[in-house]
Structure 1
Amino acid sequence: MRATEVTDQTSASAFRGRAAATAVRWSSLSVLGRQGFQILLALVLARIIGPEAYGAVAAATVVVTLAALLLDQGLAAALVQRPDLPTGSAGATATINLASAAVLGLLAVVTAPLLSAFLGAPGLAALLLWLGPGLLLKGAAIVPRAMLLRRLALKPVAVVEIAGAALGTAVGLAAALSGAGAFAMVLSVLVADGVVAVALLVLEGGPVPNLRLAAFAPLAGFGGRVFATNGVAYLSRNTDTVLVGHLLGAAALAQYAMAYRVLVIPVQFLGQSVNRVLFPVLSRAQGRRDELAEQLSRATRLLALTAVPPMVLVACAAPQLVEVLLGAAWAPTAPVMAVLALAGARETVFYVTPVLMRATGRAGLGLRFQVLSTVVQVAGIVAGLPFGLLGVAVGYAVGGFLLVPVLLVVQHRLAGVTARQQLGAILPPVHAAAWGALGYLLVALLPMPAIATALAGGVVFALLAVGVLRLAHPAAARDGLARVRALAGRG
């Protein structure tokens, strides 16, 4: 039995400055590596096979994301969140994860034809015959990753995940260029998951699965509430994709899914990078509202500064980016991408709130919020469906912005941070990005090739945004520069 399986004395108060920057840096590198390689493969594959065939890949991503959620039942979050762990709880949790993976893998294979028909993606069934059994690899990695994160051992996790993503992408690219079509994605996923599972098990020395199922009983209550919250969040995030595939067909599903990747980039790279560190830190700060408020404000300022300007730039440059990277066949993706980029900026900035609720043991509150979020956003999606892909995107984005006041109230209730303080942290990058957007749109009026417009507009955007930030918000500019330097290891 490892000592960390029983207790963890990590102090949130000690986790700041250089230590915090180092942890966030490694977490960022992990997410950037994984997402960067996945996006590279997605772009190459999408350009090779086109929207119609890529619909099967998009549908498979929806199914695998749901399966990954069902694998864990929220127990990994409970392993990180609890100050003390019962002896044998990690091994018992591993048993549950592997059993769930076996059941879900079999279910995916059996229901593959039905899922393929429902999502309007004829090629999905063949992909699930391989991705279903591959869930065992995902299940095996859950507990060792959670135990390493519990100790804030982010460097080894990052190295493993980057290596897995790199090797998986290399195999996938080779397969795609050799004519494997959508199966290139399957090969990439299986190789990456295999590398990660084996390496994390070796690094953590297990845990060895056991049948002490009573040992994970203390985790079940909190884990169950987290699982329910994540399940409702899945509905909120994927209802649009499912409805698009079912009602509008494979090509529309591919175009929407490709645009949705833009929303996911800042959420996963920035939001998950910071929150992977923030969750154990806030968990150890339970009951100390001043410390919770400080960590929450720091995270909000960092996320706003690093998410808002880039996503506004992507929204402005969407037509040129789609033309250059994907080709003319993907032109309908551009306006959808622009809308979802703005939605992604909003979601990234407020991604800290669900983490705050879990870390303070308020998983029930998190579940109630996710139910509200799902109702609001699904209503927006359904209202937008008659207007096609763009209507769905606008409905999703509007629903998200309507939830901002609720998120601010929750932050104030749990950490004592006022809405004025949080909005004040967000305002400088929003102001700077607005001026940058004006500059880009003026450049886009000039008669130039798409790639020239994207490059020139990007330079103008950056100059205006940085200039406004330095002149109108000098304190925010200095703070942002200090944080960037710290994350780069120069602070």
Structure 2
Amino acid sequence: MIKKSQLKSKTLHGLLWSFIELLSRQGIQLIIQIILARLLAPEHFGVIGMVTIFIAVSTAFVQSGLDQALIREKAPGDKDYSTVFYFNLAVSILVYAISFYFAPLIAQFYDESKLVGILRVIMLVVVINAVSSIQRVFLIRKVDFKTQTKISLISGLSAGAFAISFALMGLGVWSLVIQQIVMKFTEMILLLYNNRWAPSFIFDFYLFKKYFNFGYKLLLSSIIDIIYKNIYFVIIGKVYTLNQLGYYTNASKIRDVASLAVTQSIQKVTYPVLSKMNDDQSLLTKNYRLLIRLTAYVYFPFMLGLVCIAPSFIPLLLGEKWVPAINYFQLLCIASLLYPINAINLNILKVKNRSDLFLLIEIIKKIFLSILIIVAVILELGVSGLIYSAIISSIFNLFINAHYTGKEINYNISKQIKDMTPSLLLAIVMSSLIFLNFEYLKTPLFVKIMLEITFGIITYISLSLIFKIEELRLIFTLMRKSSKND
């Protein structure tokens, strides 16, 4: 039985290190992205944006949901790990061979001949990921994100150094390709060195069937989700200009520093820990609710704050040539406001072994999003119109996810909205005050951003103290306990 202090110790300790990984790895990636954005042209990022969906879908095929099945297994042995490893590796080689063969057709679709060579090289990351997938599972099962943080730091710095060097040499888009290869290869080497695990010459078809029966629904759900998360790159790359795709690609990457990275941190920490609470319904619901409240309290002001400072933030960091990306970035931040909440909801379905429900929900959500995307394209609403469809879809997703999750743990959508509303209102008030006080301030961009950030933090904490928001006290308490545990 999991003790009632489980969330406050293991989960929050894991979250703390996962967020440190976020701030360090993504912070380094942001700095590298800024340097590359100043060295390269928007169309270079546009070309990479064209192949993003192929990397993402291929990676999902390789993992095939079996990794998630291993994480939730109570006591997997070497036979379990070896079986999943060989399957992942075989699928990765097959996926790479398919992408290699069809690269000319993909290049023809986009009418971009240079994609042939780029796709054939960058898709090697799929095989590289497969080699180290089990080592990463070990770390996730142990909730050891301190080690992952170190690995991410080293690999990010190494890849960034190579990318910047190649950009300075004038190799253009290839500097971005090399960045991906070096990062994943370095991660693989460090993961293999850290865990020192090697597969046995065993492949158990019974175990494979067991894991696949759980994992294939997650695989289908993951593929559907990834396709739709990246479908904008395909549509923009096909319908609009390469420059517009470049603006969208970089706006999306910078948004991801805050949004998807936080979501992934929450998912990978909470899933293995909540899985161990599955036998205690009241404890699971209590901890789940606390996660929702804390996530909303930290995440909402962060994303809305980024919306406010974007007009100064983007040109200061990336340069004036990236000003058209400001509107895309602001809308993407709003679209991702509910990402972590939706991620936590979906984790409960995996914890409850409802991969069938997981798949059904994804199909419903994507049908709705498809309708929105088709409307945006037919009405010629442009790139901004496509992002508006993502905003509407995100709200719809919350209601669908929370509806089904609520049935599993007695925490329905009305209760979730009630728990999130105070943080959302405080974040809206804070961002509104930032806009009213600094929108027309004529100062150097760096000074303006520092004033906006300082004002926003002070305002949010002050409002929290005035209205006695419990989450503020909880955060400080948990941080103190976590630091003592270290």
TM-score range (shorter-chain normalised) is over 0.9
CA deviations on 1:421-480 (whole Å, 9 max, x unpaired) are: 322331222122112212221211233343333232222222222221221233233223
Q: What's 2:475 paired with?
A: 480
CA contact (8 A) 2:71 2:140 kept: yes
Contact 1:29–1:158 (8 Å) recurs in 2:
yes
Alpha-carbon distance in 1 for matches of 2:199, 2:9: 35
Mapping for residues 403-414 of structure 1, pairs under 5 Å: 403-414=397-408
1:376-387 → structure 2 map (5 Å cutoff):
376-385=368-377, 386-387=380-381
The residue type equivalent to 2:61 in the other structure is: L
Partner of 2:31: 40
Q: What count of residue pairs does the alignment treat as equivalent?
A: 482
Seen in structure 2, the aligned counterparts of structure 1 residues 86 and 462 have a Cα distance that, compared at 3 Å, is closer
- Post-superposition Cα deviations, 1:284-303, rounded to whole Å, max 9, x if no partner, equal 22242212212211211221
The match for 1:236 is: 228
**Which residue is 1:3 aligned to?**
none
Match of 2:304 among 292, 300, 312: 312
Q: What displacement does 1:490 show? A: 8.5
| 137-146 or 154-163, larger mean C-alpha shift | 154-163
Q: Aligned residue for 2:462?
A: 467
**2:453 is matched with which residue?**
458
Q: CA RMSD in A?
A: 2.3
Question: What SS does the corresponding residue of 1:448 show, helix, strand or coil?
Answer: coil
DSSP-derived class of the 2:261 partner: helix
Return the alpha-carbon distance in structure 2 between the equivalents of residues 193 and 126 of structure 1.
19
Moved more, 55-64 or 262-271: 262-271
- The change in CA–CA distance for 1:318 and 1:59 in structure 2 (over 3 A counts) is same
Is the contact made by 2:296 and 2:341 (CA closer than 8 Å) also made in structure 1?
yes
Alignment partner, residue 99 of structure 1: 90
Question: Does 472-481 or 355-364 show the bigger shift?
Answer: 472-481
**Cα distance, 1:235 vs structure 2:** 2.1
Letter in 2 for 1:409: H
Shift in alpha-carbon separation, 1:389–1:211, aligned structure 2, 3 A = same
Provide the C-alpha distance between the structure 1 equivalents of 2:82 and 2:56, rounded to a whole number of angstroms: 24
Question: 1:116-135, aligned counterparts within 5 Å?
Answer: 116-119=107-110, 121-135=112-126
Distance 1:310 1:122, change over 3 A: farther
* Match of residue 445, structure 1, among 416, 440, 443: 440
Inter-partner Cα distance in structure 1 for 2:449 and 2:394? 28
Q: Distance in 2 between matches of 1:137 and 1:476?
A: 41
Give the share of equivalent positions with the same residue, in percent: 18
Q: 2:417 aligned with 1:426, yes or no?
A: no
Where do residues 75-86 of structure 1 align in structure 2 (5 Å cutoff)?
A: 75-85=66-76
Structure 2, unmatched stretches of 5+, are: none
Deviates more, 1:477-486 or 1:145-154: 477-486
Q: 2:45·2:249 contact (CA, 8 Å) conserved in 1?
A: no
- CA apart distance, 1:413: 1.0
- Find the aligned partners of 2:483 and 2:118 in 1 and give their Cα distance: 40
Of 235, 244, 248, 2:240 maps to 248
Deviations 1:202-224 (A, max 9, x none): 33332315352413221010111
Residue number among 131, 134, 142 corresponding to 2:133 in the alignment: 142
Q: Distance in 1 between matches of 2:448 and 2:402?
A: 38
Q: What does the per-residue CA deviation read over 1:132-189, in whole Å, with 9 as the maximum and x for residues that have no partner? A: 2343211101112113322333332332233222222222222223323222222222
Residues 199-218 of structure 1: matches in 2 within 5 Å?
199-208=190-199, 210-214=201-205, 215-218=207-210
Give yes or no for contact 1:86–1:216 (8 Å, CA) kept in 2: no
* In structure 1, C-alpha distance between the alignment counterparts of 2:4 and 2:173, rounded to whole Å: 48
Residue 417 of structure 1 is matched in structure 2 by 411
Structure 2 match to 1:4: none
Shift of 1:485: 4.4
2:204 and 2:237 map into 1 onto residues whose CA distance is 40
Q: Specify which of 41, 53, 58 is matched with residue 44 of structure 2.
A: 53
Q: Work out whether 1:192 is the aligned partner of 2:183.
A: yes
Which residue of structure 1 lines up, in the alignment, with residue 387 of structure 2?
393
Contact 1:59 1:121 in 2 (8 A): no
Aligned partner of 1:367: which letter?
L
Q: How does 1:147-166 map to 2 (within 5 A)?
A: 147-166=138-157
Q: Please name the residue that 1:375 is paired with.
A: 367
Partner of 2:293: 301
Query: What do the CA deviations read for 1:308-353 (whole angstroms, capped 9, x no partner)?
Result: 1010011112222221122222222111111110121211232101
Take 2:433 and 2:54, find their aligned partners in 1: how far apart are those partners?
Answer: 41
Q: Distance in 1 between matches of 2:403 and 2:482?
A: 30
Offset of 1:47 from its aligned partner? 2.4
1:262–1:474 distance in 2 versus 1, CA, 3 Å: same
Q: 350, 355, 363: which one pairs with 2:355?
A: 363
CA–CA distance in 1 between the matches of 2:460 and 2:181? 42
TM-score (norm 1): 0.91
Could you tell me which amino acid in structure 2 is paired with residue 136 of structure 1? Answer: V
